Amino acid sequence: MSAPSQDVATRNGVVVRALIYALLILFAVYYLLPLYVMVVNSLKPLDEIRQGNMLALPQQWTIAPWLSAWSTAQIGVSPTGLKPYFLNSVLMVVPAVAISTVLGALNGYVLTKWRFKGDNIVFGMMLLACFIPFQIVLIPSARILGLLGLAGSVPGLILIHAIYGLGFTTLFFRNYYEAFPTELVRAAQIDGASFFQIFRRILLPSSGPIIVVTVIWQFTNIWNDFLFGSSFSSVDSIPITVALNNLVNSSTGVKEYNVHFAGAILAALPTLIVYIVSGRYFVRGLMAGAVKG
C-alpha cells in the first residue's frame, strides 16, 4: 500500500471513530436524561418546575421534597409518606428471596446430580412457569390466599413471590450445577458422603457467584414488582411500587412533581445501589434469564 492512500485511510478512520464516539455519548445522554431530570427536579421547589426549565439546575436547592416523599406525602388516605411502604417491601423481599433461592439451589442440585427418569419434564415444567403471564394466576391466587387467611398480608405476598420465583432460581442453579463436574460428586459418594453432605461440603462452597446472581435477580424482580403488589395487598401491606403509583396518580390536590421525583428515586434506590455495587452479577443474571437451556 502506498503512503498517501494509507494516509487517507487513517484520516477516514479517525472520522469514523469520532462519529462512533459521538453516537455513543449521545446515547449515554439519552439513558441518563430521565435520571438527571428526576434528581434535579426533586431538589427544586414546585414553583420552579412549573415556571422554569425542567432541564435546568435548581436555582434554589431544597431537600423538602425528599422529606415529604419519605414521611409526610399523602398516599391514599393517610399522609404517611413512602416510609411504611418501603418497610413493607423490605419485609416482603427478604424472606421471599431467601426461600426461593434456597429451594432453587436444592432443585438445581437434584436436577443435575441426582437425575431420574422424567427429570427433564419436571425441569421443563418449572422453566415454562417462568414465562406465564401472571394475569392467568391472579384470580385463583386471590382465592387461595383468602383460604389460607393470608389475603392482603405481607406473608401472603412472600408466599406468592417465593413460588413464582422458583422457576427462575431453579433455572439459574440448574444451569450452574450442570457445568459443575459430576466426577466431584462421584468422588464424594465413594468417600461416603450423603446427599446433604455432598451439597453442603462440595457444591455449596463453589456456589458463591450463582448465589449472588440469583439473590440479585430475585431481589430486583420482587422489589420492582407491581402486579402482585397491587392485586394482593391491603392498606397495611402495600409495597413501595404500588405506593409510588398511588402517590403520583392520586387525583386530589396539587401535583407535587418534585415530591413524585423524590419518591421515584427512593423507590429505585435499593435496586440502583445493588446494580452499582454488583452490576456484573446483575448482568449475568439477565443473561442467564435470557439464554435458556
Partner 1 sequence: MSFLEIDNLDKSFGTTRILKGVTLGIEEGGFLVLVGPSGCGKSTLLNTIAGLEQITSGEIRIAGKRVNELHPSKRDIAMVFQSYALYPNMTVGENIGFGMEIRGIPKAERDKAIADVAQLLQIGHLLDRKPSQLSGGQRQRVAMGRALVRKPQVFLFDEPLSNLDAKLRIDMRTEIKRLHQRMKTTIVYVTHDQIEAMTLATKIAVLKDGILQQFGTPAEIYNNPVNMFVADFMGSPAMNLVPATIGQSGSESTVELARAGAAPVSLALNGASSALSAYRGKEVVFGIRPEALTDPDGADRNAKHLVTTDCHIEVVEPAGSDTFAVTNLGGKGVVARLRADARIKPGATAPLTFNLTKAVFFDPATQERIA
Partner 2 sequence: MADATATARNAIANPRATLQDLLPKIVLAPSFAVILIFVYGFIAFTAVLSFSGSKLLPDFSTWVGLSNYVRLFNHPNWIVALKNLAIFSILYIVICSVIGLALAIFLDQKIRGEGLLRPIYLYPMALSFIVTGVAWKWFLDPGIGLEHVMQSIGWESFSFRWIKDGKMAIYTIVIAAVWQSSGFVMAMFLAGLRGVDNEIIKAAQIDGASTFVIYRRIIIPLMRPVFLSAFVVLAHLAIKSYDLVVAMTDGGPGTATWTPALFMQKFTFGRNEMGMGAASAIIMMMMIFAIIVPYLYSELGGKKK
Q: Where in 181-240 is the site for partner 1 (CB under 8 A)?
A: 181, 183-184, 186-193, 197, 201-202, 205-206
Question: What number of CA atoms fall less than 13 Å from residue 72's CA on the CB side?
Answer: 6
Distances from the Cα of 246 to the Cα of 46, 178, 243, 250, angstroms:
19, 44, 5, 6
Asked if 164 is part of the footprint of partner 2 (rule: CB under 8 A), the reply reads: yes
DSSP 153: S
Q: Which partner in partner 1, partner 2, none is near 197 (CB below 5 to 8 A by kind)? A: partner 1
Distances from the Cα of 72 to the Cα of 41, 84, 271, angstroms:
18, 11, 23
Question: What number of CA atoms fall less than 13 Å from residue 245's CA on the CB side?
Answer: 10
Asked if 61 is part of the footprint of partner 2 (rule: CB under 8 A), the reply reads: no
Report the site for partner 2 in 232-251 (rule: CB under 8 A).
241, 244-245, 248-249
Region from 57-65, 66-74, 80-88, 272-280 binding partner 2, contact rule CB under 8 A: 272-280
Kindly state the smallest distance separating residue 74's Cβ from partner 2, in Å: 16
Kindly state the smallest distance separating residue 67's Cβ from partner 2, in Å: 19
Kindly state the smallest distance separating residue 107's Cβ from partner 1, in Å: 22
Region from 32-40, 60-68, 77-85, 203-211 binding partner 2, contact rule CB under 8 A: 32-40
Asked if 110 is part of the footprint of partner 1 (rule: CB under 8 A), the reply reads: no
Measured distance CA(210)–CA(117) in Å, rounded: 26
Residue with cell 387461595: 144
Question: To the nearest 10°, the Cα dihedral for 16, 19, 23, 28?
Answer: 100
